[in-house]
Amino acid sequence: MIKPVLQLPNRVLATACEPVGALDDRALTVARDLLDTMRSAEHSVGVAAPQIGVSLRVFCVDVTGHRKARTCHGEVVLFDPVVVEASGPEIGREGCMSVPDLTGDVARFTSLHVRGLGLDGEVHDYEVDAFEARAFQHELDHLDGLLFLDRVVADDRVFRRRVYR
Amino acid sequence: MPHVAVTALGVDRPGIVAAVTGVLMRHGGNLEDTAMTNLGGHFAMMLVVEVPDSEGAEALEAALVDEVGGLGLTVAVRPIVEAPPDGPRGKPWAVSLYGADQPGIVHRVAQKLADHQANIVDLSTRVVGPGPEHAYVLLLELSLPASADSDRLAQELATLADELGVEIHLRPDDADVL
Q: Tell me the pLDDT of chain B averaged across its residues.
A: 92
Distance CA A102, CA B172 (A): 17
* 3-class state of residue B165 by DSSP: coil
Q: Tens digits of per-residue pLDDT, B55-79?
A: 999 999 999 999 998 999 999 999 9
Q: Tens digits of per-residue pLDDT, A20-52?
A: 999 999 999 999 999 999 999 877 899 999 999
Distance CA B48, CA B166 (A): 35
Is residue B131 predicted with pLDDT exceeding 90?
no
* 3-class state of residue B71 by DSSP: helix
- Please state the pTM of the whole predicted model: 0.81
Known catalytic membership, residue A90:
no
> Which residues of A lie closer than 8 Å to B, measured between beta carbons?
43-46, 66, 68, 92-97, 103, 131, 134-135, 138-139, 148, 156, 159-165
CATH number of A11-160: 3.90.45.10
Interface of B with A in 56-115 (CB under 8 A): 89-92
Q: Domains in chain B and their CATH numbers?
A: 3-80 (3.30.70.260), 91-172 (3.30.70.260)
Is residue A147 within 8 A of residue A99, CB to CB? The reply is yes
Q: To the nearest whole angstrom, how far is the Cα of A153 from the nearest Cα of chain B?
A: 15
Is residue A27 within 8 A of residue A117, CB to CB? The reply is no
Q: To the nearest whole angstrom, how far is the Cα of A44 from the nearest Cα of chain B?
A: 6
Can you tell me the mean pLDDT for B13-28? 97
Indicate yes or no: CB of B178 within 8 angstroms of CB of A94.
yes
Is residue B87 predicted with pLDDT exceeding 60?
no
Domains of chain A: which residue ranges?
A: 11-160
Q: Tens digits of per-residue pLDDT, B23-43?
A: 999 999 999 999 999 999 999
Using an 8 Å CB-CB cutoff, list chain B residues near A45.
Answer: 176, 178
Write down the pLDDT at residue B108: 97
Is residue A161 predicted with pLDDT exceeding 70?
no
Residue B4's φ and ψ, nearest 5 degrees, are -125, 155
Is residue B128 predicted with pLDDT exceeding 90?
no
Is residue B88 predicted with pLDDT exceeding 60?
no
Out of A96, A139, A159, the one facing B177 most closely (by C-beta) is A96
Residue B140's nearest CA partner among B102, B89, B97, B87 is: B97
Is residue A156 predicted with pLDDT exceeding 90?
no
* Helix residue ranges, H only, chain A: 25-40, 130-143
Residue B118's nearest CA partner among B140, B153, B101, B142 is: B142
Q: Tens digits of per-residue pLDDT, A97-148?
A: 999 888 899 999 999 999 999 999 999 999 999 999 999 999 999 999 999 9
Residue A45's φ and ψ, nearest 5 degrees, are -110, 5
Q: To the nearest whole angstrom, how far is the Cα of A104 from the nearest Cα of chain B?
A: 8
Considering Cα of B61, then B62, then B68, then B74, what sign does the dihedral take?
Answer: positive
Write down the pLDDT at residue B134: 85
Burial class of residue A87 (count of CB atoms within 10 Å of its CB; 0-12, 13-18, 19+): exposed
How far does chain B reach from its first CA to its final CA, in angstroms?
34
